[in-house]
Structure 1
């Protein structure tokens, strides 16, 4: 899981090395190569059973695939609109949104500690964006787009929970990558990417998304959900560090302070859940 978070975290710094690819084209190429890598993996693992397994997943599988497509698309678009730190810290509230949504979708009670974590994390995010929003509206737009990732993640995990764990997430990832590619292709034309850009986005599609996502799905059978959530927070720390060192993208003081408040709150909440 530590390796998974390290692989996830390279998206921001590599995106900053692109020469001419922008916005929807960035999303298209990464999703395309993710889908290609997952299709090859699934064909090798299941061969002729692939169509049958896709049909067997039913409605939960396709809802999950749609949510993955939202996550894939919003994440890369947000990176082109605002800083890596803003995107990653906004995404980090996914466990809290998942717990909140579970109250309505599954009837699960929200623990007092989780309510407290939601309030404190909200204060931290407001602190982060209080100055940047007024200074540059693009950061606000990037934050709103990034918020689509934890919202879709919350719907995704609760849908899977309601299905009783009968859905294999790997084909859902494949469906998500395919939908994201189809939706963003018309918006990407005419292509402006150089060969350098396409190579970097292929690297992201295979090594930043396809491989670590498959590993994370397999690891979910061995690690408890709070443990995975706690370890996944390392992606934010790694990602901000990569962007700082590799792209000279230094977070503003209020982002560091607010982000520390959000991450500290999430870590305590998940650590308490793991202890329970």
Structure 2
């Protein structure tokens, strides 16, 4: 009897992935001079190197090429969505505050659930809708006092950030639509390549210090490439809304790492809102029981 079911292993992967995503803020606090476009370029470049290297190590050159080809049009679509997320998130942060950006990103589970219902004909459990609503309220409460006025530069930044949850939702739907027979980990590689190629002209000339390059390599390898690969693996055994909800751990953990690693003490609202988000995530995973829970777990495997 296995220690963990496929569904439980997928949940574990989707806890590890946003935990790694969440270290972006605290690591970027320690950059000397690298800014928006340059950060996005180097992070995407190192992500591509990591994912490409992992594929070559696991499959060899010939099989890696075959896997990329087998991903086909759906792989290109997913790669484009990854690229939009990689670019727009960092650009948004140069135009508005972290709080404004994260508030916009928090609509992703709701949009994902809606698209899964419309496109995949996937039934979304009432508990998931409830968890999505509770998580959105919790995130809003976390950042309510630090929200900037929506106008001018901030409005542009929030509009750019709006592309991230849209791309994330469509990406999750694309991965689920591809099914078990298509490996879309190469799409993470394509997204990294697209993003780096797009950012190079606006990031040039590259004046990044070696200190910053080491931090950006860490971001590319362990904050972007690895967790995105883990998410694609987890998607095989989780519903799209479930993945999108668990991804909100990034928003929850980001302020914690900033507190521990950069001395940014969280406000009381952050702690209360974070508790609400955590409760919503735990509720969504533990609510199913008995025959209903077994049917849902079987359906996802």
Could you say if the C-alpha distance between residues 90 and 240 of structure 1 is closer, same or farther in structure 2, counting changes exceeding 3 Å?
A: farther
Name the CA distance, whole Å, in 2 between partners of 1:8 and 1:81: 21
Name the CA distance, whole Å, in 2 between partners of 1:139 and 1:132: 10
CA-CA distance at 1:63 after TM superposition:
0.5
Question: Contact (CA 8 Å) 2:37, 2:199: kept in 1 or not?
Answer: yes
Report the counterpart of residue 42 of structure 1 in structure 2.
Answer: 55
Name the CA distance, whole Å, in 1 between partners of 2:272 and 2:261: 22
Indicate whether 1:198 and 2:213 are aligned: yes
Report the counterpart of residue 244 of structure 1 in structure 2.
Answer: 259
Q: Name the SS of the counterpart of 1:57 in structure 2.
A: helix
More displaced 10-residue stretch of structure 1: 256-265 or 40-49: 256-265
Could you say if the C-alpha distance between residues 229 and 15 of structure 1 is closer, same or farther in structure 2, counting changes exceeding 3 Å?
A: same
More displaced 10-residue stretch of structure 1: 118-127 or 198-207: 118-127
Name the CA distance, whole Å, in 2 between partners of 1:90 and 1:53: 34
Could you say if the C-alpha distance between residues 145 and 258 of structure 1 is closer, same or farther in structure 2, counting changes exceeding 3 Å?
A: farther
Report the counterpart of residue 268 of structure 1 in structure 2.
Answer: 283
Instruction: Output aligned runs, 1:121-270, within 5 Å.
Output: 121=135, 123=137, 128-129=143-144, 132-134=147-149, 140-221=155-236, 223-225=237-239, 231-254=246-269, 256-258=271-273, 260-270=275-285
Could you say if the C-alpha distance between residues 75 and 123 of structure 1 is closer, same or farther in structure 2, counting changes exceeding 3 Å?
A: same
Report the counterpart of residue 15 of structure 1 in structure 2.
Answer: 28
Q: Name the SS of the counterpart of 2:147 in structure 1.
A: helix
Indicate whether 1:59 and 2:73 are aligned: yes
Name the CA distance, whole Å, in 2 between partners of 1:245 and 1:253: 16
More displaced 10-residue stretch of structure 1: 251-260 or 210-219: 251-260
Could you say if the C-alpha distance between residues 92 and 168 of structure 1 is closer, same or farther in structure 2, counting changes exceeding 3 Å?
A: farther
Report the counterpart of residue 116 of structure 2 in structure 1.
Answer: 102
CA-CA distance at 1:211 after TM superposition:
2.2
Normalising by structure 2, we get a TM-score of: 0.76
Superposition RMSD in Å? 3.2
More displaced 10-residue stretch of structure 1: 82-91 or 102-111: 82-91
Name the CA distance, whole Å, in 2 between partners of 1:148 and 1:262: 23
CA-CA distance at 1:115 after TM superposition:
4.4
Could you say if the C-alpha distance between residues 81 and 200 of structure 1 is closer, same or farther in structure 2, counting changes exceeding 3 Å?
A: farther
Name the CA distance, whole Å, in 1 between partners of 2:288 and 2:97: 31
Question: Contact (CA 8 Å) 1:101, 1:154: kept in 2 or not?
Answer: yes
CA-CA distance at 1:43 after TM superposition:
2.2
Could you say if the C-alpha distance between residues 43 and 19 of structure 1 is closer, same or farther in structure 2, counting changes exceeding 3 Å?
A: same
Normalising by structure 1, we get a TM-score of: 0.82
Could you say if the C-alpha distance between residues 131 and 195 of structure 1 is closer, same or farther in structure 2, counting changes exceeding 3 Å?
A: closer
Name the CA distance, whole Å, in 2 between partners of 1:248 and 1:269: 32
| Unmatched segments (≥5 aa) in structure 2 | 1-12, 297-301
Indicate whether 1:71 and 2:71 are aligned: no
Aligned residues: 275
Question: Contact (CA 8 Å) 1:89, 1:236: kept in 2 or not?
Answer: no
CA-CA distance at 1:56 after TM superposition:
1.9
CA-CA distance at 1:98 after TM superposition:
0.9
